[in-house]
Amino acid sequence: MKKLLIIPMLFMCSMVIGQSKKIIGNPIQIEHLEVAQNDFPKEMTWNEAKKACYALGSRWRLPTKDELNLLYTNRKKIGGFTYDFYWSSTESSIYYFCNQHFSDGIQNAGFEDNKYQVRAVRGPRF
């Protein structure tokens, strides 16, 4: 019975690792940040985005609103962004978090259940 449980677990782990490599790709260094090469394949709520970035491992996370603006400023150098809203980790008020529209650079507050694009970043070790 234990052997039967190991096979599905190995399959799930390989799927997560495979997605991690696909998302992270070849990270791009922008100032103090490493930026994942790709967005996640689907839009997510804020909580889903936070969990998905954390699941990439090794300090990957959602960018702060200032870091997200840095990504917007360097979007051509980084590449692969859509002209949609992207989540940040910065809380605006209860149930609302900062986001940025990548067509015009305007930052807003979005309700945590809205679904937006996600690009993970990794900062320096402290």
| Residue 3 reports pLDDT greater than 90 | no
Each domain of the chain, given as residue ranges in start order, spans 2-122
List, for residues 82-120, the tens digit of each pLDDT value: 999 999 999 999 999 999 999 999 999 999 999 999 999
CATH architecture of 2-122: Roll (3.10)
Mean pLDDT score, 21-28: 95
List, for residues 38-60, the tens digit of each pLDDT value: 999 999 999 999 999 999 998 99
The pTM for the full model equals: 0.83
| Residue 13 reports pLDDT greater than 90 | no
Contact 96, 111 (CB under 8 A): yes
Residue 94 has φ and ψ, to the nearest 5°, of: -55, 130
**Where does the pLDDT of residue 125 fall: very low under 50, low under 70, confident under 90, or very high at 90 and above?**
low
The Cα 114–Cα 58 span in angstroms is: 27
Residue 68: strand pairing partners: none
| Residue 10 reports pLDDT greater than 50 | no
pLDDT score for 124: 77
Place of tokens 């949609």: 84
Mean pLDDT score, 13-42: 85
